[in-house]
Chains A and B, each alone.
Chain A
Amino acid sequence: MDAYSLALAAVLSGYVASLLVILESLLRTGWRLQAWTGVAGVGVSAAASLLALISAEGGTVAGFDWLPSIGVKFALRVDLVSGIMGLLVAVISFLIAVYSVEYIGEWGAARYWVFYTFFVASMLLLVYADDLVTFFIGWEGTGLSSWALIGFYYDEREDAWVGDPGRRRLGVPMWFTPTHSALRAIAFTRLGDIAMLIGMGVAYAALGAVSLTILAEKGPLLAALVKGAGIIPLWLILFYMGALAKSAQFPFHEWLVTAMTGPTSVSALIHAATMVKAGVYYALRITPVIAPFLAAHALGAEAYSGLAWLSLITAFMTATMALVARELKLILAYSTASQLSYMLAAVFAAASHNDVGEGVLGGLAHLLSHAVFKASLFLVAGALIHELHSRYIDHMGGLRRFMPLSFISFMLASLSLAAIPPFSGWWSKDEAIEAISAMGHLASGVALVTALLTAAYTGRMLFLVFFNGYRGHVAHPHEPSWIMVAPYLVLGVASLAMGLTWPWIKTFLIHAVGVEAVKASPPIVLAGTIASVAGMGGTIAYYARKTGLPEASVLRAPTGVVAGFLYDRWLINSLIYRLIVYPGRNAAIALRRIDSAVDEAIHVFLPRIGVSMSAIVRRLQTGDVRDYLSYFMVGVILTALISALVVKLTG
C-alpha cells in the first residue's frame, strides 16, 4: 500500500469504529464491546500511521477532485512532518484508549467511544490534509468531539467541576460545570475558527483554491495580492486566529482551563497531547509555506513578531497561574497552555526573522516531547483523582508509598516537564528557546523566566502530591489495575527514553523539517538548565523545610493579593464575562424585549387601532339616507373649499 492509502486507512478506521460503536449501542451490546471496538479502531489507526510514516520519505500528495466546480479536492499529504504527527497522535490515542477502557467503565461508554474514535479520525484527517477545506473538516470534527467530551458528565457531578464552588470575582462565578465548560470551549474556539475561515477565504479569493500545495506554488501571487490590498497584518492575524484559539493563546486560553471538566483521559488526549496541538501543527505547516514569500516582500515581520509576543505573554501568564493552583488537573492545564505557547512562540519568532525552519524544528520538537510527558501526567492525575475522590492536591500527599508505579511515571514525566537533563523536555524546550532567542534578549529572558516558573510549579506539584504526609480522606489508596498503569508508565518511561536518544531523534526531525544547520547556543542551554534545576530544586527545598505540612496551610485558597490575583487567573475570565459575555447576554435580553414589543405592536396594537378606526368609519354608515345626504352636502362644501383655496393660492 502506498502512503496515501495508509494515511486514508488511519483516518477511516477511526470513523468506522465510531459508526460501529453507534451500531453496537443501538443493538444494546455491553459496554466492554463498545470500548474494545474503540480501542481496536484506534489501534488500526496507530498501525496504519506507523506504516504511513515508514513510507513517507519524500512526501506524497494524493486524493481526488471533490468539488471540482469550486476547486476543492480531498487531498492528503503524507510527508515526514505529517507522518511523525500522525504517528504521535495515533499512538498516544491508542495508549489512552487502553487506559480509558477501565477509567470510563460503563456509564456513558457508548457516547465516550463514539466521540473518542471520531476525534482520533478527525485529528488524523487534519494532520494528513493537504487541502485546507479537508483540513477544516477534520479541525471542526475535533472541536465537536472536544465539546461533547468536555460536557461528558452532563449530570454536572461536582467531582468534575473546575474551580471552587461559591467563589466569585468581580461578581463572576469562578466555578464551572461540565456543560458550561463545553459551551465555553466551543464558543471560544469558534470565534477563532470564523476568523480563520475568513483568512482562508481571502487566500481562496486570491488563488481560486486553498491547499498547502497551491499555497506553496502560488505563494508569491498571494503575497503580491494581499500586499496590493494592504491587509497583510490583518490577514495574517485572521489566518492564524483559529490556531491561536485552538492552542489556547491569550485571551482564548480560558476555554482550555475549564475544559478540565471532561474525563481525565479526555484531558490527557484532547486537551493536552493532541487537539490543542492542532493549532501549533497548523502554524508548523502553514508558516514555512507563506512566511518566505511574505519575507521576500519584506512583509509580515511585525505581525509575526506580535504573535510571538502574544505567545510569550501567554506562556508566562499561565505559568504564574499554575504556581498557586490547588486542583491537580488545573495545574496541568495551565502548564499545557504555557507549553503550547513555547511552541507557537518558537514558530512565530523564527518567522519574524526569516528563519522559519529553526522555529518549526523547535515547535515540532517540543510538541513531540510535550505530548508524551503531558499525557503521562494527566493519566496519572486521572488515576489519583479517581482513587482519592478529590481533585485538590490538598487532599493528596505522600502518595509515593501507596502508588509507587504511578509515582515513578509521574516523576519521570515531571522531570521532563521541568526540563531537567537529560529528559526529553530539556532538549526540546532548549530547541524552542533557541528559536525564540532570535527576537532578542528580552524574549529569551521571558522564556527563561517561564522555564524557571515551570520547574517551580512542577516541583510544587510533585512534592505536594507524592511527598510529605498523606492528607487524603481515603484510608488506603491503591495503585489502579495494570490496564490503567501500563499506558502512563510507558509514556513516562518514554519521556526518559526519548531524552536519552534525543540526538538521533533530533537528526530525524532536522531531516523531516528540512533545515540545514542548527546552531546550539551554549549560554542559552546553560541558562535554561540552571533555571530548571534552580526552579525545581528551590521549590522542593522550600516545601521540604516545612516538614509535616499543617493541613490548614494548604487547605484553603490563597488570600494574599498577588496569590489571589494569580489564583483567579489574572481576573481575565471575570473581565471577559463582565465586558463581553454579560453585555452580550443583556443585549440579547434587550433585543428579546424589543422583539416582543414589535411583535405586540404588530399583532396587538396595530389591529386594535385598525378595529377602533374601522368602528368609527362603520358608525358613520347609519343606514339613514338623510345622513347620507348630509355627507353629500359636506362633500360639496369641501370640494368648494378646496377649489377656492387652490384658486386663491395659485392666483
Chain B
Amino acid sequence: MAGGVLGLSSLEASSLLVLAAYTVTGLIGPLFGTRTSRILLYASSILALLGILYASSLPSVLHGYATGFNGAVVVDTFTVYLLLVALVIFALTALAGRRTVDQWEASDAFYAVVGLMALGLIVLGFSRVLYLVYIAWILSAVSSYVLVALYRDSVSAEAALKYAVTGTAATIILLLAVILYYGVTASLTIGAAVSDASPLLVTPVVALALIAIGFKMGMVPFHGWAIDVYGNTRPLIVALVSAIAKILAALFIVKLIVSFAVATPTIVLWVAGVLAAITMLYGNLGALTTIRDSPQKLLAYSSVAQAGYIAAGFASLATLPGIDNKAAIAGIALHTAGYALSKFAGFLVLDSQCRYPNCGWDSMRGMAWRSPAAATALVLSVASLAGMPPTLGFWGKLYIVKAVSGASTGLALLLVVNFAIAAFYYGYLIYQLFARPRQQEGVRDDRSDVAFVAALLTLILGFMPQQAYQLTVYGYS
C-alpha cells in the first residue's frame, strides 16, 4: 500500500485526486463558463466514483476500514456505499441541468456550488478527526444555503434565509457538541475510547449531536425550514439538496454518535426514538392533506416522515454490535440510499412536469399517458418511498423495522402504522398519474430521463440488499 506516488499510499493518492478534482470544479470551473463548469462537475463525479471504487477495493477496506494521512482520514464500506450513491446523484445532476440550469442567470455558480457541496460530503465521509467533520459541516451547509438561494426569486430567497438562520442555530449546537466530544475523549480522533464516561458529560454530546443532525435531516421539531425549502423552491434544486442532506446526516451520525452509542445506548435509544416517533407522525399526518394543494408539498412532508424512519434506525443503533446492530446499519444505509435516489427522481420529475412555481395536482393528472418516462420514474420512486418490494425503500424499511423491533417493540409498531398512513398519500400520487385527462401531448426532456435512471437504480440496487449486511462502520471496529 505504501510507496505509491510521492510516497503516498493508494488510499491517500486517490483521496487527494478526488479532493483536487472537486476543488477545481468548485473554484476554477466558473472562470471558464457554464458549460465547462457542468462538464467539470460531471467529470469530477465520475473520477470520484472511480477513485472511491478503487479505494473500496483495497483489501484493508474490504476487511473493515483503512486509514491514511497519519490517521486523519478513514474509509469504511458504509461510507463508501453512501458516497457512491451521492456521487451518482452529482453526476446525474450535471446531466439533468444541461437544458435547464444552463439557462439560469447563475448557472455557472450552480455547478461550482454543487462541486463544493460534493467536496464537503467527501471530506465528511473520509474524516477521522473532529475538525475535518466540522469543516465538512460548514462546507456542505453553506453550499446548501447558496444553492437554495441561487434561483433568485423571492420564494428561494425567503426559503434560503430560513434554512440559513436555522442552520446557524444548528451549527452552534454542533460546535458545542464537538467541544464536549473533545472534552470527553481528550482526543481529536473520532472513535477513540471514551475516557470519562460520566453521564453528565457524555449525555450532552449525544443529545447535542442528535439535535444538529436532526436539523440536517429535517427531524421534528428542527424541521421548520425543511417544509418551506422542499415544498416551495425550485424542485430541481430541492432534488439535490434533499437527497444529499440525508446522506450527510447518515454520515454525521456514524462519525459523531456511533462511538457513544456503545457508551450510552439508552440515551441514544430514547432521544432518537422519541424524536423519530414525533417526526414520522408529523410528516405523515402533514402529508395527508397535501393531496388538496400540491404534490411538491406532499414530497416535502414525506421527507420529514422519512427522516423519522432513519432516526428510528439511529435509535436502534443502541442495540450494540450484533445481528440487530448490523440490521440497523444496513437499514440506515439502504434506506438513506433509497430515499436519496427516489427523492432526487421525484423532485426532478416535478421540475420537468410542473410549471414552477405553480406545481399543482393538475400537472400530475394523466402523466402516465403524457410522459411515460416521467410517470414511470415517479411511480418507481414513490414505490420505493412507500416501501414496495423489491425496491431499496422496501429493504431499508424492512431492516430498520427488524433492528428497531430488537430495541423497542412500541417504536417498531409505530413505524408500521406510519408506513400504513403513508401508503394513502403515496397511493394517491400514483393514482393521479393514471387519472384523466389523458392528453397525449407531452415533452421528453433530460430531467425526466435522468429521473428515470435514478428511479431505476432504486429498483436495481433493490436486487442486492444482502450486500448491505456486510457494511462496516469504523466506529464499531
CB-based contact A617/B206 at 8 Å:
no
Interface-facing stretch out of A24-32, A124-132, A340-348, A639-647: A639-647
Given A623-B228, A647-B199, is A628 in contact with B162 using a C-beta cutoff of 8 Å? yes
Given contacts A638-B274, A640-B207, A642-B274, contact A625 B199 (CB under 8 A): no
Say yes or no for A508: interface residue by CB 8 A criterion: no
**Listed stretches A48-56, A324-332, A608-616; interface member:** A608-616
The reply on B288 being an interface residue by CB < 8 A is yes
Does B204 reach chain A (CB closer than 8 Å)?
yes
Q: Is B414 an interface residue (CB 8 A)?
A: no
A617-B271 contact, Cβ under 8 Å, with A629-B166, A643-B207: no
B286 to chain A minimum Cβ distance, whole angstroms, is 4
Task: Pick from B200, B211, B274, B286: contact of A636, CB below 8 A.
Answer: B211
Contact of A628 among B225, B271, B274 (CB under 8 A): B225
- Tell me the complex Cα distance, A629–B224, Å: 8
**How far, in angstroms, from A640 to B210 measured CA to CA in the complex?**
11
Chain A residues near B227 (CB, 8 Å)? 621
Contact yes or no, A629 B169, CB < 8 A = yes
Whether B274 and A614, one on each chain, are in contact in the complex, defined by CB atoms closer than 8 angstroms, is no
Q: Which of A614, A625, A628 contacts B288 (CB 8 A)?
A: A614
Contact A611 B224 (CB under 8 A): no
Contact between chains at A646 and B214 (CB < 8 Å): no
User: B161, B170, B285: which has the most chain A beta carbons within 10 Å?
Assistant: B285
Is there contact, CB below 8 Å, between A638 and B270?
no
Say yes or no: is B215 at the interface (Cβ < 8 Å to chain A): yes
B222 touches A631 (CB 8 A): yes
Q: Are the CB atoms of B166 and A632 closer together than 8 Å? A: yes
Complex Cα–Cα for A155 and B376 (A): 58
The answer, among A613, A623, A634, A646, for a CB contact under 8 Å with B221, is A634
CB-CB under 8 A from A625, the residues of chain B are 161-162, 165-166, 224-225
Contact B286 A643 (CB under 8 A): no
B267: which of A621, A631, A635, A647 is its contact (CB, 8 Å)? A647
A645 to B221, CA, bound (A): 19
A639 touches B211 (CB 8 A): yes
Question: How far, in angstroms, from A639 to B278 measured CA to CA in the complex?
Answer: 12
- Assess whether B173 is in contact with A636, with CB atoms less than 8 Å apart: yes
* Residue B275 at the chain A interface, CB threshold 8 Å: yes
- CB distance B285 to A631 under 8 Å? no
A635 vs B200: C-alpha distance in the bound complex, in angstroms?
A: 19
On whether the beta carbons of B282 and A631 are closer than 8 Å, the reply is no
Residues of B with C-beta under 8 A to A613 = 285, 288
Closest Cβ–Cβ distance, residue A647 to chain B (whole Å): 5
Q: Which residues of A contact B271 (CB under 8 A)?
A: 639, 642-643, 646
Interface string of B277-290 (1 = CB under 8 A from A): 00000100111110
Q: Which residue of B lies closest to A649 (CB)?
A: B266
Residue A546 is within 8 A (CB to CB) of chain B in the complex: no
B203 within 8 A of A: yes
- A623 to B161: give the CA distance in the assembly, Å: 12
Which residues of chain B are near A610, meaning CB under 8 Å?
Answer: 285, 288, 421, 424
Confirm or deny: A650 has a beta carbon within 8 angstroms of a beta carbon on chain B.
yes
Of chain A, the residue at the smallest CB distance from B273 is A642
Q: How far is the CA of A645 from the CA of B266 in the complex (A)?
A: 11
Give A368 to B289 CA distance when docked, in angstroms. Answer: 77
Q: How far is the CB of B422 from chain A (nearest CB, A)?
A: 12
Q: How far is the CA of A631 from the CA of B223 in the complex (A)?
A: 8
Q: How far is the CA of A640 from the CA of B267 in the complex (A)?
A: 10
A614 partner residues in chain B, CB cutoff 8 A: 285-289
Set A631, A639, A645, A646: member contacting B224, Cβ < 8 A:
A631
The minimal Cβ–Cβ distance linking B423 to chain A, given in whole angstroms, is 12
Bound-state Cα–Cα, A616 to B227, Å: 15
The secondary structure that dominates the B interface is helix
Give CA–CA (A623, B155) in the complex, Å.
Answer: 11
Interface assignment of A627: CB less than 8 Å from any CB of chain B: yes
Kindly identify, within residues 131 to 170 of chain B, every residue whose CB is under 8 Å from any CB belonging to chain A. Answer: 161-162, 165-166, 169-170
Q: Is there an interface contact between B224 and A621, defined as CB atoms closer than 8 Å?
A: yes
Give the distance in Å from the alpha carbon of A634 to the alpha carbon of B169 in the complex: 13
A618 within 8 A of B: yes
Bound CA–CA A638/B279 (angstroms): 13
The CB with the most chain B CB atoms within 10 A, among A635, A638, A645, is that of A635
A632 to B227 alpha-carbon distance, docked (Å): 14
Looking at chain B, what size class is its interface with the partner chain?
35 or more
Chain A proximity mask over B217-238: 1 for CB below 8 Å, otherwise 0: 0001111110110000000000
- The contact string, 1 if C-beta is below 8 Å from chain B, for chain A 124-150, is 000000000000000000000000000
- The minimal Cβ–Cβ distance linking A94 to chain B, given in whole angstroms, is 62
Contacts of A644 in B (CB 8 A): 203
With A635-B214, A640-B207 as given contacts, are A646 and B282 in contact (CB-CB < 8 Å)?
A: no
Q: Which residues of A contact B210 (CB under 8 A)?
A: 639
B307 CB to closest chain A CB, in angstroms?
13
B267 neighbours in A (Cβ, 8 Å): 643, 646-647
Q: Which residues of B contact A615 (CB under 8 A)?
A: 289
Please give, as numbers and ranges, the residues of chain A lying within 8 Å of B170 by CB-CB distance.
Answer: 632
- A462–B417 CA distance with the chains assembled, in angstroms: 77
Contact of B289 among A611, A623, A642 (CB under 8 A): A611
Assembled-state Cα–Cα distance A636/B169 (Å): 11
State whether B286 touches A639 (Cβ < 8 A). Answer: no
Give which listed residue, A611, A631, A635, A646, contacts B270 with CB less than 8 A. Answer: A646
Write out the residue numbers on chain A whose beta carbons fall within 8 Å of the beta carbon of B220. Answer: 631, 635
CB–CB B204/A643 < 8 A:
yes
Q: Which residues of A contact B285 (CB under 8 A)?
A: 610, 613-614, 616-617
Q: How far is the CB of B166 from chain A (nearest CB, A)?
A: 6
Indicate if the CB atoms of A621 and B286 lie closer than 8 Å.
Answer: yes
| Chain B residues positioned under 8 Å from A635 (CB to CB) | 211, 214, 220-222, 275
Residues of chain B lying within 8 A (CB to CB) of residue A638? 221, 274
Known: A631-B221, A638-B221, A642-B274. A617 touches B286 (CB 8 A): yes
Query: Which residue, of B173, B267, B287, has the highest number of chain A Cβ atoms within 10 A?
Result: B267
Q: Identify B206's interface contact among A621, A623, A631, A643, CB under 8 A.
A: A643
Q: CA separation between A611 and B199, bound complex, in Å? A: 42
Instruction: Contact check, B162 vs A639: say whether CB atoms are below 8 A apart.
Output: no
A632 touches B224 (CB 8 A): yes
Do residues A627 and B282 form an inter-chain contact, with CB atoms below 8 A?
no
Rounded to whole angstroms, the CA-CA distance of A127 and B184 in the bound complex is: 95
Contact of B215 among A623, A632, A634, A646 (CB under 8 A): A632
Neighbouring A residues of B424 by C-beta, 8 Å: 610
Contact B288 A632 (CB under 8 A): no
Which of A615, A623, A643: most chain B CB closer than 10 A? A643
Tell me the nearest residue of chain A to B231, going by C-beta: A621
- A637→B225 CA distance, assembly (Å): 19
Closest to B228 in A: A623
B207 and A650 within 8 A (CB): no
Indicate which residue in B215, B224, B266 contacts A627 across the interface (CB closer than 8 Å).
B224
How many angstroms from the CA of A278 to the CA of B224 in the assembled complex? Answer: 80
Chain A residues 584-637 with CB under 8 Å of chain B are 610-611, 613-618, 621, 623, 625, 627-629, 631-632, 634-636
Closest CB pairs A-B (n = 7): A628-B224, A631-B221, A614-B289, A614-B288, A635-B221, A617-B286, A625-B162
Given contact pairs A621-B286, A638-B221, A644-B203, a sample of 20 additional A-B residue pairs in the complex whose CB atoms are under 8 Å apart: A611-B288, A613-B288, A614-B285, A616-B285, A621-B224, A621-B228, A623-B228, A625-B161, A625-B224, A625-B225, A628-B162, A628-B224, A634-B221, A639-B207, A639-B211, A642-B270, A642-B271, A643-B204, A643-B207, A643-B270
Enumerate 22 A-B pairs (CB-CB under 8 Å) in ascending A order. Answer: A610-B285, A614-B285, A614-B286, A614-B288, A617-B282, A617-B286, A618-B289, A625-B162, A625-B166, A625-B224, A628-B165, A628-B225, A632-B170, A632-B215, A632-B221, A635-B211, A635-B214, A636-B173, A636-B211, A639-B271, A643-B267, A650-B266
